Structure 1
């Protein structure tokens, strides 16, 4: 059959996967969603997700669960528009999370490290404040502190992303409807520099306060909700899954997403929420493969939660993306790559758990046993264990974001590579164009290539909210 005749049929079969030509696909979305307003928007960010992270999570899901990841299944089933996004900041082609989220939140590129503050000090009103002023309910859900860069970029403006106590105070004046994640220490009077009890401030403004999963589920639907489930970031999914206490007390990202949707879905003017898998980024900074994969898969479960609601609701725009790449992990060719990658299915803990649990006085055998316990019986050599041991004696120091103890995350990942076939190019952000997918009203207008700042106006237009604030 000739290529032209194939295209007349509207689709092309390639390797068992049905590919719809771009024009036909655009028509499908135009017919389904064209002219409809997005009453609700769920903007989902896997922070620091390189393309290799998305692809390895899909491979893992296919090989262990016998199905594609929920994200990739949206591509297979031709349910979403797909593109890429240029995420550069004003100061660098390699962005940080603050500038990245600000480009969406405030619609302008700002310098790395700042939140919606322009190059001349101008303050750009963040998008969730605009939607709140337009009468919608708004929410933030994350696995890192709720005051961290990505949720803050949708919510506030300040010169430094590091002013998290100040950001916690700012939140109390915004009348947001749902704020859920980590970051207890930024609200707790005993840990704040100003000794201000931010929970009392929120309660006095009519909020329910939750500190665990049971309290989250018991919170009334008719009151705004703030919930912080841990001191800083939430536990990695792999470590949470191995602890009955954590599973009983700390919700998954999907559970938080479901609770936030139920909290806001009946509002007559709709809702807008940001959902972030923030610790995907932290895992990439640590070259921590079990942390990375299991948190990406936890995000994937949240994607299913959002899509199940959106497909039933019919008036919800779901956006899936990342703010930047990080460490660009991937599988390396070799005879044992299949078996090595499958070994990760049996990893019960993260490298964070391994290294944070070691002490300077621990023996070489203790180090070897702890790694074997966490990594499906992997046996490292005596010399490798001694090299890890040397870091705890302060003979060596390893830099890295979210590594205040200078623990040997890079070294451990290099040792694991022989057993996992996973390689990393760095321990920091990269300038990759990020993955972008959309479902729902407005998605038919998505371009295959977008500049990050265009997202701000795109979301407002999809919801038919005037950009007048």
Structure 2
């Protein structure tokens, strides 16, 4: 779909996901050729659950229904017929499986690019990202995410670069743009003690007039007079299930919904409006590592941010909210018709992600200690043989997969 038509035709309504789900028939469907007067919106909140498949959306909704007796905000928008539905092609230019850089560039630059590229074409030319266009038009703009603010999805709306992996350079590329809100993880790309070149990027942003925040308390104290840069962890933020069960993390790291509310509050008084990208980035990371509690509880955390955005939009009556995903990853499902409910319900009592467990294992761990760790974190017991197989991986650290720098055995543990 042509991007200008996409925004023009959705400007009065909340736009639903491009994915199909059991309630999709409850929403009207937009087509590229449809002529209907929807009016205009001054503000846009673009919300993307990175790597979310239909299975993730539906299983997170099931978890909420069985644990809390309510449905997700996303599903309720369909049920209440508050959305219209449209489709967006986010395919990569060089692969059947797209990555977040190519998909974000499709949204943010309007052109297909190769995987790994950020608004960079094969002929060496670049496509101007959409947030730069909105900023030049006089709007306030911002991004909040649960992964590094320099990561592919926010970067695809902000900058051009031949490599999504050059996050240290991307941090510097943000500086002259003077965007109004940039919050998420990624301290290692701004902190001179963490950067290979020892450049103090924080100081550069402070000299440019930014308020720098590193904790939830600092974020909540911010005023609306200056742009803000917030980096609340070295890399990505903690998984939601770990955050919820750790008071120290709760006090230090704001959840996505709180960052969303703060970003809206900081930009809502702009006379020309604002555009905000909100990314549930660790949905994708959990899908890559078969981390069911990480996946579903981060989807629920994203849904809470959706709820906050919709609350603002319904009160403001001049805001378009786009809720979508950029690509599907790790489509989860259930099997075993006789005991699937019982097995699924164990997720209600999980206190930690697979990621937390595997990163908690230290040299010298005994099988018995690992069995106790998993029982405390996720409420079930593995066998001694299973514990030995997991611990054997720590002798060679040969686990594969993206976002697995320590080569941990996510595949084995996720089975």
TM-score scaled by length of structure 1: 0.81
Distance in 1, matches of 2:25 and 2:275, equals 32
User: SS where residue 325 of structure 1 aligns?
Assistant: coil
| Alignment-derived partner of residue 147 in structure 1 | 150
Q: Are 1:346 and 2:349 matched, yes or no? A: yes
Q: Which residue in the other structure is 2:321 paired with?
A: 318
Any stretches of 5+ residues in structure 2 without a counterpart?
1-22
Q: Distance in 2 between matches of 1:300 and 1:273?
A: 16
> Which of structures 1 and 2 has the bigger CA Rg?
1
Aligned to 1:387: 389
1:113 equivalenced with 2:116 (yes/no): yes
Deviation at 1:22, TM superposition (A): 4.6
What is the Cα deviation at residue 380 of structure 1? 0.9
Shift of the 75–335 alpha-carbon distance from structure 1 to 2, 3 Å rule, reads same
Q: Does 1:400 align with 2:398?
A: no
- Equivalent-residue separation in structure 1 for 2:184 and 2:249 (angstroms): 14
Which of these residues, 246, 250, 254, is aligned with residue 251 of structure 1?
A: 254
1:435 counterpart residue number? none
| Cα distance in structure 1, aligned partners of 2:394 and 2:212 | 39
Residues 4-403 of structure 1: matches in 2 within 5 Å? 22=28, 34-376=37-379, 378-394=380-396, 397-403=398-404
Which structure carries more relative contact order (alpha carbon 8 Å, separation 6+)?
Answer: 1
Instruction: Give the root-mean-square deviation of aligned CA atoms.
Output: 1.9
Q: Does 1:410 align with 2:407?
A: no
Q: Distance in 2 between matches of 1:275 and 1:373?
A: 33
**How many pairs does the alignment contain?**
392
| Structure-2 separation of matches of 1:389 and 1:205 | 49
Q: Note the C-alpha offset of 1:405.
A: 1.8
Displacement, 1:82?
Answer: 2.1
Deviations 1:164-183 (A, max 9, x none): 01100011100100000000
Task: Give the 3 Å change call, closer, same or farther, for CA 67–229 of structure 1 in structure 2.
Answer: same
Q: Distance in 1 between matches of 2:229 and 2:403?
A: 25
1:171/1:58 CA distance change after superposition, 3 Å? same
Partner SS for 2:88: strand
Gaps of 5+ in 1: 1-16, 415-469
Corresponding position of 2:19: none
Following superposition, the deviation at residue 83 of structure 1 comes to 3.8
What is the match of residue 419 of structure 1?
none
Q: Check the 8 A contact 1:360/1:389 in 2, yes or no.
A: no
What displacement does 1:359 show?
2.4
Give the match for residue 441 of structure 1: none
| Gap change, CA 1:38 and 1:388, over 3 Å in 2 | same
Quick check: 2:182–2:229 contact (8 Å CA) kept in 1? yes
- Three-state SS of the structure 2 residue aligned to 1:147 is coil
User: How far apart are 1:30 and its partner, in Å?
Assistant: 9.3
